[in-house]
Structure 1
Amino acid sequence: MELLSEEKIEQELEKLSKWKRIDEKWIRRRYKFDNYLLGVEFVSKVAAYAEGKQHHPNIAIDYKVVTLKISSWEMQGITDLDIEMAHYFDELYEQSDK
């Protein structure tokens, strides 16, 4: 796991246009669903992937909106693994029923 430079984070966030930088150590995205259960199903897939990576995002379910926040605690910031996971979560969302 490699801590990313500010320049690299900005480059990656341009590719992840719906992800936003929160403070200096987090990236966040909100995913919208047609109903609560579709969001819960998405969270289940996110959790399974995160468990396999042993790298867990903060997850909030607010009725039809799921919010993911990612950071690397050990590295005290945003790493290549955080970016990889953000891309994967976006792919999961695109493949899911919304």
Structure 2
Amino acid sequence: MAEALSTEQIEERIKDLPSWTTDGRKIERSYAVPHVQGAAFIVHIAAIQDGLGHHSDATLGYKTVHISISSSDLGGYVAEHDVELARHIEAAAAAHGAV
């Protein structure tokens, strides 16, 4: 079973992920992206999540996509696989013009 990371461990692991933040219970980021490209980005994120077998909350706004990741099996805390999911999402962002 995965173990929850401390806030310090989370901060260390996301320091190379631009604009990702943590409150110790989740990691999250908002991307600026045109609406239609944002919808495509959401679909891409869903495919990444299915491939990893781990899912996040993703919200499509008019010109934004917001991602919030935590592990429900850990009571809403962050584990290593949450950071891995964020890395995959970050790698996919540029293809959709998300910044």
* Band of TM-score, shorter chain: 0.7 to 0.9
Say whether the 8 Å CA contact 2:27–2:70 is kept in structure 1.
Answer: yes
Structure 1, unmatched stretches of 5+, are: none
Moved more, 42-51 or 8-17: 8-17
CA RMSD of aligned residues (A): 1.5
Q: Secondary structure in 2 aligned to 1:15?
A: coil
The one-letter code matched in structure 2 to 1:48 is A
- Counterpart of 1:65? 64
The two structures have a TM-score, normalised by structure 1, of 0.87
**How far off is 1:55 after superposition?**
1.4
Mapped to 2, the partners of 1:65 and 1:14 lie a distance apart of: 22
Structure 2, unmatched stretches of 5+, are: none
Q: Secondary structure in 2 aligned to 1:4?
A: coil
The one-letter code matched in structure 1 to 2:96 is S
Deviation readout 1:25-78 (Å, 9 max, x if unpaired): 111100111x21100000000011112222111111111100000000111210
- Counterpart of 2:90? 90
Note the 1:7-86 alignment, pairs <5 A: 7-22=8-23, 24-33=24-33, 35-76=34-75, 77-86=77-86
Q: Secondary structure in 1 aligned to 2:72?
A: coil
The two structures have a TM-score, normalised by structure 2, of 0.86
The one-letter code matched in structure 1 to 2:58 is I
Q: Secondary structure in 1 aligned to 2:93?
A: helix
Alignment: residue pair count:
96
Deviation readout 1:5-34 (Å, 9 max, x if unpaired): 332112012122311113x3111100111x
Q: Secondary structure in 1 aligned to 2:15?
A: helix
